[in-house]
Amino acid sequence: MPHLAVNDIHANYGALAVLHGIGFEVDRGEVVSLVGPSGSGKSTVLRALVGLTLVTGGSVEVDGTRIDYAAPRAVKAARDRMAIVFQQYNLFQNMNVLRNVTLAPTKVKGRKRAEVEAEAMELLKLVGMEHKAQAYPDELSGGQQQRVAIARALALKPEILLLDEVTSALDPELVNEVLDAIRRLAGEGMTMLLVSHEMSFVREVSSKVVFMDAGRVVEAGPPDAIFDAPSSERARDFFGKVLR
Amino acid sequence: MDYNFQFNVVWRNFDALLEGAWLTLQLGVFAFTCGCLIGLVGAACLSFAPRPVRWLVHAFVIFITNTPALIQIYFLYFGLPEFGIRWSNEACVLIGLTLNAGAYLTMILRAGFLSVRQTEMEAGETMGMSLPQRIRYIVVPHIAKSIYPALANFFIVILVMGTSVGAVIGVDELTGQAINLSTVNYRWLEYFTIVALMYVVLTFIASIGLALLGRWAFRVKARIF
């Protein structure tokens, strides 16, 4: 049984249908990447998984249990198991780094502050940000903020980490520090679903790549097969433009 | 001008003026604090509540902001007894001012709700925070920081212009005390010169207090001087 199974999901923004039946599976400890042109619905898939965009058809199963996105309690349960990191980091501007990381575990999960803070410092160390624990987001570079955002998501102890174009808003020289953090997580066996335009990185860390276009999965498979020998015309065209 | 200022009359009754100033400060702080709570609930409703509730809040704000505070307090003091509700003059001023401040603060705080970054709210939501938690931890600190100057200005308005309305129904706040005292010996000019200066000192102290509070609680880098 796959850890996360996405079956034929549909989603709309108002009257506009953006996902026309997306399906893929993620096994425990696996890194799966969604790639494809802008507007293909990759980010929407992640948003739908955490209940920010309503799923209007199909099903999502975690460990075989279907998530009913119409029920607030089920959405909350889904958010307990999946944490998302956004392209624009979305840190809480009015709190320092440590508080950003500890807020949800203390206030949502009701855990003891001292214990959570010790854990938070470990996570900040993991992403190389422990020296900035007392800094505020507006005092940090984009890459630093994104690494804090990753630590903040991990503090919720998710089973699956969703990464939504986490390097797209960064200056080129800051990209690597974030990718290194993700690489380290992959090495530790974290299950991840990532949307990215960093093709060489995707190829390196992913066990499976899902190529999407216009709200549909065009093809999916191991990275080497998808990148080197795509079977569809659309994928050949896309990779022909981005891989060089 | 051959008016002969006799400030010694004022100094003889200065204790009474100080008492008035103290009451003015209390009325202002209470009305502003409770008004902020009303405003916070009102603004939250305008952003998140279903339509009928939003209409009610709008109606409250329109009604209050388009009628003079004096008339509202008159209504509480002279109108409610007709319905068997009798409040003291101080209670009427306090409640009237609080409702008045609540309506204005609803609109001031609304600006803060509208300017909060939706992305932060989404992040909070995906982390499992409930709406009240998101308001408490994301919106309120944002409001406190971004519209702190507007809030501080409005506090001064309540403190000076709001509370002095109480004099009309016999509340012995600073203006009321000055009227009481000067009707005894007709030293209006002396009393009101001193009282004006006392208001200046009061607002000055209040401004410093607010700036320090903002700096300490919300990282607002307000300049005091």
Q: Which residues contact B33 (CB under 8 A, 6 or more apart)?
A: none
Note the pLDDT tens digit of each residue in B109-122: 999 999 999 999 99
Residues 78 to 137 of B: which have CB under 8 A from any A CB? 117, 119-120, 122-129, 133, 137
Query: Do the domain assignments include residue A150?
Result: no
CATH of the domain at A9: 3.40.50.300
The CATH code of the domain at B8-218 is 1.10.3720.10
Q: Does the pLDDT of residue A154 top 70, yes or no? A: yes
Query: Do the domain assignments include residue A197?
Result: yes
The model's confidence at residue B224, banded by pLDDT at 50, 70 and 90, is low
Distance CA A195, CA A205 (A): 12
Give chain A's domain count: 1
Rounded percentage of chain A residues whose pLDDT exceeds 90? 67
Note the pLDDT tens digit of each residue in A102-111: 999 999 999 9
The model's confidence at residue B5, banded by pLDDT at 50, 70 and 90, is confident
Q: Does the pLDDT of residue B60 top 90, yes or no? A: yes
Q: Give pLDDT, residue B2.
A: 78
Give the domain ranges of chain B.
8-218
Note the pLDDT tens digit of each residue in B159-201: 988 999 998 898 999 999 999 888 888 888 889 999 999 999 9
Domain limits at A206?
Answer: 4-92+156-236
Lowest mean pLDDT among A165-169, A195-199, B95-99: A165-169
Q: What ipTM score was computed for the predicted complex, to two decimals? A: 0.88
In chain B, residues with a C-beta closer than 8 Å to the C-beta of A152 are 127
Average pLDDT over residues B45-57: 95
Is A242:A203 a contact under the CB 8 Å cutoff? no
Average pLDDT over residues A8-34: 92
Query: Do the domain assignments include residue A140?
Result: no
Q: A90 vs B119: CB contact, 8 Å cut-off?
A: yes
Chain A residues whose C-beta is within 8 A of a chain B C-beta are: 50-52, 76, 79-80, 83-84, 86, 88, 90-95, 103-104, 107-109, 136, 152, 156
What is the DSSP code string of A107-168? HTS---HHHHHHHHHHHHHHTT-GGGTT--GGGS-HHHHHHHHHHHHHTT--SEEEEESTTT
Q: Which helix (H) or strand (E) holds A92?
A: none
Q: Does the pLDDT of residue A243 top 80, yes or no? A: no
Query: Do the domain assignments include residue A170?
Result: yes
The model's confidence at residue B9, banded by pLDDT at 50, 70 and 90, is confident
In chain B, residues with a C-beta closer than 8 Å to the C-beta of A79 are 126-128
Q: Does the pLDDT of residue B225 top 60, yes or no? A: no
Query: Do the domain assignments include residue A80?
Result: yes
Geometric angle at alpha carbon B139, from B128 and B62, rounded to 5°: 125
In chain B, residues with a C-beta closer than 8 Å to the C-beta of A84 are 126
Query: Do the domain assignments include residue A26?
Result: yes
Q: B123 vs A83: CB contact, 8 Å cut-off?
A: no
In chain B, residues with a C-beta closer than 8 Å to the C-beta of A108 are 127-129, 133
Query: Do the domain assignments include residue A161?
Result: yes
Q: Does the pLDDT of residue A123 top 90, yes or no? A: yes
- Tell me the pLDDT of chain A averaged across its residues: 91
Q: Does the pLDDT of residue A181 top 90, yes or no? A: no
Residue B73: HSE in the Cβ half-sphere, 13 Å Cα cutoff: 26
Give the global pTM. 0.84
Q: Give pLDDT, residue A117.
A: 94
Distance CA A108, CA A110 (A): 6
- Tell me the pLDDT of chain B averaged across its residues: 90
In chain B, residues with a C-beta closer than 8 Å to the C-beta of A87 are none
Q: A52 vs B122: CB contact, 8 Å cut-off?
A: yes
Q: A52 vs B125: CB contact, 8 Å cut-off?
A: yes
Q: What is the DSSP letter of B190?
A: H
